[in-house]
Amino acid sequence: MNKITRYLYPLGMIAVILYFSHTILGNLLWKEYNPVTTDISSLTADGAPNAQLLRLITLFYSIFIILMVFGLVIKAFKSYNRLLKAGFIILLVMQLTSAIGYSLFPLTGDKTDMNFQNMMHIIVTVIVVFSTITFSFLVAFGYIKQEHTKKLGMITLVFAIFVTLFGLFNPISMGMQLNILGLTERLVIYTIQAFMFILSYYYTFIDKEPVT
């Protein structure tokens, strides 16, 4: 099984590169797009310029990140405690919810219209946000509980705190009508992506469990 998972772990780094590529490329190709005021989902919304190309990139992102997380679940059930098992299962559920939910319910052209599709998009986002916060704290304390991953646990805990704090910025900025949704959303999502890259890097290059 280790022979399989060792090839799954690096896919996380590729996935993160793809994710950043889709946001950067989408911004470059859509001249009127403002990353400070406009959310990331608008790049792949129905009718958005280059939406099909960007959806293709995010499709490969989703496949790669899910495979990486599946490898982490296998690792957790073989070598880790209950907190890490639960945390990585929730992470897998979050990634599956994100991949399936956002592909089925992209934003419509008028995202202010609270139709069924946009409402489902918001529901998916809420599930993703809360499952992300839950998994990150479970994984952080799970790592800290194990002697050889305490340092990784502290790093994970810092990311968990930042994700939680940044997640509060979205409703605060919207309530205060600051018009910086794109910025606050990026603080959350880019932090999550950075953590995914670190996990992928750690299990690819640092965690050297014998291959069997």
pLDDT digits (tens, 9 = 90+) for 24-52: 999 999 999 999 999 999 999 999 999 99
Average the pLDDT over 130-143 and give the result. Answer: 97
Give the whole-number percent of the chain exceeding pLDDT 70: 94
pLDDT for the residue 23: 97
pLDDT for the residue 211: 43
Q: What beta strand segments (E) does 27-142 contain?
A: none
Q: Contact at 8 Å (CB) between 181 and 37? A: yes
Position 127, amino acid: I
pTM of the shown model: 0.93
Structure token pair of residue 72? 């982490």
Q: Which of 6-20, 98-112, 121-135, 147-161 has the lowest mean pLDDT?
A: 98-112
Domain boundaries, the chain: 2-206
Task: Name the pLDDT band for 212 (thresholds 50, 70, 90).
Answer: very low
Positive or negative CA dihedral for 155, 161, 164, 166?
negative
Res 179 pLDDT > 90: no
Residue listed under structure tokens 């009127």: 32
Q: What is the mean pLDDT of the chain?
A: 92
Crossing angle for the helix pair 150-175 and 181-201, nearest 10 degrees? 170
pLDDT for the residue 147: 87
Give the whole-number percent of the chain exceeding pLDDT 90: 81
Res 151 pLDDT > 70: yes
